[in-house]
A = this chain, B = another copy of it.
Amino acid sequence: MLIVHVHVRVVPDGVDAFREASLANARESVKEPGVARFDVIQQEDDPTRFELIEVYRTADAAAAHKATAHYAAWRDSVAPLMAEPRSSTKYRTVFPETL
């Protein structure tokens, strides 16, 4: 499993639009066979900060996700909402072993 956390900060006016675009993207992403999880979470004390928690069954699945129409639509719709460039961190699982 490959786990990717995407760290996002949006402009204050972009919170609702980011949320909607990311919901639409997540609903399609979880249908991809290589996606085990695609969570979207919002920081309690700063609603302009979000994390995408993407769990892929293989490294190829992460590349396949970036080739989908829903990813492209999300990427383009959220581009003007970013307060700073997105960053991401890759992890491997320790527990649960099945993650």
* Closest chain B residue, CB of each to CB of A19: B94
Q: For residues 60 through 98 of chain A, which have their beta carbon under 8 Å from a beta carbon of chain B?
A: 89-96
Q: Determine which of B5, B44, B50, B99 lies in contact with A94 in the assembled complex, contact meaning CB atoms within 8 Å.
A: B50
CB contacts (< 8 Å) of A42 on chain B: these are: 91-94
Secondary structure type dominating chain A contacts:
strand
For the complex, give the distance between the alpha carbons of A51 and B90 in Å.
11
Q: A19 → chain B, closest Cβ, in Å?
A: 6
Given A39-B95, A42-B94, A53-B53, 20 further pairs, Cβ under 8 A: A19-B94, A22-B95, A23-B94, A26-B94, A26-B95, A27-B95, A30-B96, A38-B95, A39-B96, A39-B99, A40-B94, A40-B95, A41-B92, A41-B94, A41-B99, A42-B92, A44-B89, A44-B90, A44-B92, A45-B90
